[in-house]
Amino acid sequence: MRVATLNIWHDRGPWPERLPLIRHELARLKPDAIGLQEVLRDVSAPPTVDTCQALAIAHGLGYHVAYAPAAPRDERSGVWQGRIWQGNAVLSPWPIRTRHVVPLPGADEAEPRALLYALVQTPLGDLPAFVTHLAWEPHHAPLRLRQAAYVAAHVDALSPPGALPAVLLGDFNAEPDSVEMKYLCDAGFADAWGDAAPGYTFDETNDYARAAGEASCRIDYILVRGSAATPLDTRLAFTTPDRSGAAPVWPSDHFGVVTDLAL
């Protein structure tokens, strides 16, 4: 079984040019489930390819979509409020039996965040797929730890008996040796990346990431709950820019992660 994750960087940069690159890589990878973060949807209109980035990415590729709003953004001020909402999504070629949204702690002190749960009906069994995006500011490490604990508790509570091992996908804004990620590992989540280095997902080689002025780091993860699933091959994805124009166009400011799981 193949699962993947990508922070799509909402509509920043040349979104119309970035969208085909994301769709092309999705069509090449053919994951059984992919978690997306920073996905915009206009909640004032019916969800279509023109009003929801998740549907635009999935269009024509045969993917079912579950979307979870986390934070709204006002178009004029840039503040996350109003009709344009940022959130998470799960895309899968298999039917999505259940969808549940869990708001995360911290909406009173940082951008609102959420956990999306989607139960995917794969040929191998029901896959509990979870997608999240934790607080990003460096000084919010204590909040991220609270959010990580909240996520872990809800993964346990929502994963149904008899289902496949849960996968937790997302942008955790925390490096592998952080307290937040160590907490999740101690809680029974295995990092699919393993010990391979460096695996930077926010990488200075990406022009969009370099513009942020931050050092390269690994902050995007595929985590597997329990020992019944073994990552066989984990690698970066969505890493290839289009260099045909005056400036390279990258799929996102983040690189994605994809893994093949033996169940």
At residue 195 the predicted structure's pLDDT band, cuts being 50, 70 and 90, is confident
Strands 33-42 and 167-171: unpaired
User: At residue 263, does pLDDT exceed 80?
Assistant: yes
Q: What percent of the chain shows pLDDT beyond 70?
A: 96
Measured on CA atoms in the order 61, 67, 71, 76, is the torsion positive or negative? Answer: positive
199 Ramachandran zone, left/alpha/beta (phi>0; psi -120 to 50): left
pLDDT above 90: residue 1: yes
Q: How much is the average pLDDT of 174-184?
A: 97
Query: Considering only CA atoms, which of 83, 88, 90, 86 is closest in space to residue 111?
Result: 86
Cα separations in angstroms, 150 against 100, 205, 253: 15, 34, 27
Backbone φ/ψ region at 181: left (φ over 0), alpha (ψ -120 to 50), beta:
alpha
Looking at every residue in the chain, the average pLDDT score rounds to: 94
How do 125-133 and 167-171 pair as beta strands? parallel
What is the mean predicted confidence (pLDDT) over 234-238? 97
Nearest to 110 by CA among 150, 138, 84, 87: 138
With pLDDT > 90 as the criterion, what percentage of the chain qualifies? 86
The Cα-based distances of 230 to 37, 94, 159 in angstroms read: 24, 21, 18
* Distance (Å) of CA 218 to CA 30, 79, 168, 198, 256: 23, 27, 16, 8, 10
What would the pLDDT profile of 35-93 be if each residue is shown by its tens digit?
Answer: 999 999 998 889 999 999 999 999 999 999 999 998 665 556 555 567 888 999 999 99
| 133-178 per-position pLDDT tens digit | 999 988 999 999 999 999 999 999 999 999 999 999 999 999 999 9
| pLDDT score for 6 | 99
Average pLDDT (184-189) is 96
pLDDT value, residue 84: 85
Largest alpha-carbon pair distance within the chain? 53
Name beta bridge partners: 41.
52, 85
Is the pLDDT confidence value at 185 over 70?
A: yes
Q: Which domains does the chain have, with CATH numbers?
A: 2-262 (3.60.10.10)
Q: Please report the pLDDT score of residue 119 as a whole number.
A: 98
Q: Is the pLDDT at 245 greater than 60, yes or no?
A: yes
Q: What is the pLDDT of residue 78?
A: 57
